Structure 1
C-alpha cells in the first residue's frame, strides 16, 4: 500500500520540479524523488494528468483551463494551503495554485478532488476502506473509528464516518446486476431500530444466488409487500416467487399474477412441530407414536420427488387410508396440503423454481445474525451496512446463469 501513491503520481503528473539534493551522485530517478516526498502516503486514485508538482508539495496546472468557460487565458495567483491527513503519514501540508480567468473573471483552484474532496481533511482512501471494514461484519461508528486508528494511525470521529456512509435511497437498496432471472424467493426479518419493531423485506434471485432488493418497512402490510416486489422487479422478468406459509402471501402473489411456490421446508417444519408435541406426551401410546411417525413420513414422500404424477399418486394412496391417519395429520391434509397442492408442487413442473426459501434464510443468517439485529439506530445506518453486505455477497456467491 505505501507504494501505491508513487505508482499513481508517476503516471499522472506531467512534470516535477527537482531540488539540488535530488542530484546525489547520479541522475535522479522520478520514482525515487516521489518516494521521498510522499513516503508512506496511501492514495490510490488518479490525479489530474496535467498537474505540475513543484518543490515542497506545491501543485499547479501545467496548462490551466477555466472550468467555467474553457478559456486558456488564465493568470496565476497565490497558493492555497491545505492540511490533509494522508493515512498513516498523518497531517501534511500541500499548496494548491489559484487562478483567475481573464475571459470570464471567475477564480478557481487547482483541483485534487480525486485524492481528497473539497473541505475534507481525510483523503478519499478512508471512505474507500470503510466499505471493506463494514463488509467483514457489523461495527458501530465508534468501533469503526478504533479500526481506523489500528490500521492507519488516525481515528476519524463517528460523525465523520457517518457522513461517509452514503445511501442514495431512504428505505431501499437494490443490486447493481442489470438482468434478473425471474425466479425469486421472498422473505422478511424483523429488526429493531431504537427499540421499535421494523421489517427487513428481501427479494432474492434464486438462480443468480443474489439479493436484488432490500427495504426497511415499519409494518409488513399487504400494500407494502406488493409495492416492494413490483417496484423491485420493474422492467425485469417475474415468473415465480417462493415464500414461507404466511397467509397474506397467497393473496399478494395472486394480485401480482406470479407463480407462487410455498416452501416445502416450512411445511415439514409446521407439521413436525405439531407431531413433536404428541411424541413428547405421556398420554399417547408407543404404538400410536410409531403410527404417527410413519404417516408423517408418507406425507413428506409426497413432496420428495420432482415428478408431479408420482406426487399425485402418492397423495391418492395416502388419502385411500384417510380414516387410519392420525387426526393431527388429517387436519394438515384437508386444510393445508389439498387446498395448496398446486402452490406446493410448482417446483416439479419447472426446474428453475426453488422448492424452499432456504437461500434467502441462509443470506439472513450470514448477513444479519440474531445477536446484532436489535442494535441498529437508524434506517440509513442499517441500509449502509446491508448495502456493503449485498456487494460482498454478490461478488462472492453470485452466479451468471442464463435461464432464458
Structure 2
C-alpha cells in the first residue's frame, strides 16, 4: 500500500482531510439556479494534505461551471490556510529569518515553501510612508531616526510616535536623511492632524521644521542634550592639559548642578536651579559654557515637560519602539525597501494592539488585519498590563 504524505502528528492542522472525492449537490450557481449537472472532476494537490478529486458542476440555465471549495485551503492556492497563518504569526512575534520560517513549516506540516513564497505571504504594499490608523491623535509627538543597512547600503528609518496614544503614527525608510526628506516626512505624516509639541534630539534642522513648517512647539530631548555635553566635558576638559585640576573640578560641580535642572520636580524649581548655575559659569571652559548658554537662550525649549505633564522629557518612547521592533533583524532579513516597510507595518500593528490606548473593538479590528479569524479572547493575553488597566478604566467610565 502506498501512503500519501500528510502533516506530521502534533502539527497545527485543525481540520480533517477531505474525502477522496469532494462534492456538494446543494451548491447554487452564481446566476441563482439550483439546477446543475455533474461535469467531470479535477484533481487538487494541497501541500501537506492527501490529493483529492473535486466534482465540477455545469449550470443547466446559464452554462457556467462551479465546484465546491475545500474547507482548509483557498481556491487556487497550493498551501493550506494553517501554513500561511503560522508563517504570519511567527513573523509578527519573533525575529525568525526566512530560512527559519521554512524550517518551522517543514517540522510542523511536512512542507517547505520557497523563500519567495514566504516573502509574498508576509509582504504587503505599504506605499512610501507606512502610516498607522489611530482613532485619534494627541498632538504630542516624538520624532526620531535610526541608521540601518539594506542589502549592504546605508539607509535611515524615520519614525513619528504619538506619546499619549502609545503608538507610532508613521514610519518611512529612506536612502538619505537630509533636511528636505525629514520635512516631507513630517508634514505628510501630520497632514490634517493636531500638532502641539514635537520632541526631537539635538539636530539643528529640527527646530525650523517643527516651528516653521508644522507651527508647533519644538521640545529638545534633554537626555541626548546632556549626553552630548558630557562627551564634550570628557574629551575637551578632562583629557586636556590646558585646565588645572581645580578648573576640572569646578566644571564637574557646575555640570552636576546643571544636570539637576532637568530633574527638578517643577518648573519654578528648575528655573531657580538654573539661575544658581548661571552665577557660576563665568570661569567655565567654553565646551561646558556653550551648553549652559544654549539653555539660557531658550529655557522653555528644554523644560516644557515641567510645565505640561503630558510632554515627555526625552525621546525614550521612540527609542523603546525601535528596540522592541528589533531593528538589527530588519537589516539581516530584507534586501529591499519594500520588504523592510512591510515588516514595519506588521510591527506597527502589533505594537498598536499591545500598547496603544485604543478600545477593545479597535484593537480587535487592527489585529484582524493580520489574522482575520482571531477573536478578542486570543488578543487579551497579548496586551500589556498598562493597556489592560486603560481598558479597565474605560469600562468604569462607561458604567
Mapped partners of 1:103, 1:230: distance in 2: 58
Contact 2:158 2:173 in 1 (8 A): yes
Q: In structure 1, how many angstroms separate the alpha carbons of the residues matched to 2:198 and 2:215?
A: 10
What does 1:273-288 align with in structure 2 at a 5 Å threshold? 273-277=231-235, 278-281=237-240, 284-288=243-247
Query: Per-residue displacement from partner, 1:301-333 (whole Å, max 9, x unpaired)?
Result: 222225323322322332233313332222122
* Deviates most, 241-250 or 382-391: 382-391
Q: Residues 195 and 374 of structure 1 are in contact (CA less than 8 Å); yes or no, is this contact kept in structure 2?
A: no
**2:91–2:122 CA contact under 8 A, matched in 1:** no
Q: TM-score, normalised by structure 2?
A: 0.79
More deviation, 152-161/138-147: 138-147
Tell me which of 174, 192, 214 is aligned to 2:171.
214
Kept in 1, the 8 Å contact 2:126–2:342? The answer is no
The answer for the alignment partner of 1:97 in structure 2 is 55
Question: 2:304 matched to 1:346?
Answer: yes
Q: CA deviation at 1:142?
A: 2.5
Match of 1:50 in 2: none
* Separation in 1, partners of 2:177, 2:124: 22
Q: Give 1:318's match in structure 2, choosing from 263, 271, 277.
A: 277
Question: Partners of 2:326 and 2:25 in 1: how far apart?
Answer: 51
Deviation at 1:133, TM superposition (A): 1.7
Query: Which residue of structure 2 lines up, in the alignment, with residue 356 of structure 1?
Result: 314
Aligned alpha-carbon RMSD (Å): 3.0
Partner Cα separation in structure 2 for residue 72 and residue 41 of structure 1: 39
Counterpart of 1:344 in 2: which secondary structure? helix
The verdict on how the C-alpha distance between 1:168 and 1:298 changes in structure 2, with shifts beyond 3 A counting, is same
Gaps of 5+ in 2: 1-7, 359-389, 395-399
On the 8 A contact 1:180/1:236 being kept in 2, the answer is yes
What is aligned with 2:368? none
**Residue of structure 2 in register with 1:71 after alignment:** 33
Shift of 1:62: 4.7
Q: Which residue of 1 aligns with 2:201?
A: 244
Identify the match of residue 194 of structure 1 among 151, 156, 176: 151
Aligned to 1:229: 186
30, 42, 46: which one pairs with 1:84? 46
Aligned to 1:378: 336
Unaligned runs of 5+ in 1: 1-37, 48-52
- Seen in structure 2, the aligned counterparts of structure 1 residues 61 and 236 have a Cα distance that, compared at 3 Å, is farther
Match for 1:119 among 70, 76, 85?
A: 76
Q: Which residue of 2 aligns with 1:331?
A: 290
Q: How does 1:46-57 map to 2 (within 5 A)?
A: 56-57=19-20
Shift of 1:244: 0.6
Q: Distance in 1 between matches of 2:33 and 2:53?
A: 23
1:377 Cα shift? 0.8
Cα deviation for residue 374 of structure 1 reads: 5.8
What is the CA–CA distance in structure 1 between the aligned matches of 2:151 and 2:62, rounded to whole Å? 53
Greater helix share, structure number: 2
TM-score of the two chains, using structure 1 as the length reference: 0.78
Alpha carbons of structure 1 residues 111 and 234: separation in structure 2 relative to 1, 3 Å: farther
Q: Which structure's CA Rg is the greater one?
A: 1
- TM-fit CA distance, 1:92: 1.1
Match of 2:263 in 1: 304
Q: Which runs of 4+ in 1 moved over 6 A?
A: 38-41
